[in-house]
Amino acid sequence: MLSSCALPRINAQQRTFLDISLEFLGEYQLPKMKFQDTTVGGLSGITYDRQRDRFYVISDDRSHLAPARFYTLKLDLNNSKLQNAKIENVTFLKTKDGATYPKGSIDPEGIALTPQGTLFISSEGATRELISPFIGEFDLKTGKLTQNLPIPETYIPDSNNEQQKGIQNNLGFESLTLNPTGSLPASGEPIRLFTVTESALMQDKDPLEKDEQGNYKPQITKCRLLHYLISDGPPIILSEHLYSLSPYPPGAMYYGVTELLAIDQGGHFLSLERSFGLTGFGAKIYQIFTGAATDTSRITSLKGEIKAVQPIKKQLLLDLQELGIRLDNLEGMTFGPRLPDGSQSLILISDDNFQEKQITQLLLFRLKTS
């Protein structure tokens, strides 16, 4: 996150958003490899440990190729360039009983480091494999689960053959970010944690409509963003807001929110929207602001026109297709170390889906403030 002395000024024309931009500094591709008898791949989330100058990346392997796990990654950012990446350790996730997760019992996607040196990890949820969505706190050293966050009943898929509510298959908690409310990494320091569903809940999906020519009309996908407060007492949900996914890019077959990253304590975030279609992958980074958004936690369904609901405000920051490079399945995003000029680095990582034709791609940016 940005330190208080480095907070950007508010844009005079649009005071809702911070006056920031991104400068692309380079790409590094992690080679296909094995590490301690595990296949390194499916890296779908990344978080930075500033004290150790290391990154933790979560693999979305559902314990099929090896037990569910995260890796410790060292990045070489000499002269503001991504010159090397080295896997240093692998940590297997464990249940409260100390056992690794059985095959097909977890769908890890998001990861965020707390000031107390623990990790929150989200399991996206997969209805076809009967994997329930959850968000858990894990010990950084042992990988053992210490607590689960409450998940609203509206997010839990029903048991009917024709699903009526809850997350869609593989479209749940892909993103995860947190924002400490204090300044010291002390035990019990309150933490605000955020996640947004990759796509709409089943009960929020609007039916497809066709125009006079028989073509489907563009529609806005209504995702939900959850805001948790975690302190000494039981974790609680403070609020929920409507995140309107941008219209599908031309030719895209899949489109969704894959990452969320807190910028400050004032409700400003970066969001990563990823698409896939016949022409390959695409991605866009938005700046979003939650401050004026309506709390939707008591609204059962967001179908249809909802004039009384103020959605999260968003503004396009960068269309990554303008970089002129091949993009892969970008799913993770985090702030990294300070660059030599004192500016803040931003790193994105792609999930290669354990496919030979895909790559694990690391992209480095400079966050520029005015």
Cα distances (angstroms) measured from residue 28 to each of 8, 86, 272, 278, 330:
28, 11, 19, 25, 13
Lowest mean pLDDT among 11-25, 107-121, 153-167, 229-243: 11-25
Distance between start and end Cα atoms, the chain = 17
| Average of per-residue pLDDT values in the chain | 91
Per-residue confidence band for 45, with pLDDT thresholds at 50, 70 and 90: very high
The conformational region for residue 78 under phi > 0 = left, psi -120 to 50 = alpha, else beta, is beta
Q: Is the pLDDT of residue 346 over 80?
A: yes
Q: Scanning the structure block, which residue is given the tokens 């022409």?
A: 279
Q: How far is CA 66 from the centre of its chain?
A: 23
Beta strands of 166-210 (E only): which ranges?
A: 177-180, 191-196
- pLDDT for 183 equals 47
- pLDDT for 181 equals 56
Kindly state the helix (H) or strand (E) to which residue 274 belongs, with its residue range: strand 268-277
- pLDDT for 217 equals 59
Per-residue confidence band for 129, with pLDDT thresholds at 50, 70 and 90: confident
What is the model's pTM?
0.92
Beta-bridge partner residues of 48:
55
Burial class (CB in 10 A: 0-12, 13-18, 19+), 342: exposed
pLDDT, average across residues 78-86:
92
DSSP SS3 for 349: strand
Question: Tens digit of pLDDT for each residue in 152-208?
Answer: 999 999 876 788 999 999 999 999 999 865 444 455 678 999 999 999 999 999 886
- pLDDT for 91 equals 98
Neighbouring residues of 239: CB distance < 8 A, sequence distance ≥ 6: 227, 295, 297
Measured distance CA(30)–CA(362) in Å, rounded: 8
Amino acid making up residue 349: I
- pLDDT for 216 equals 56
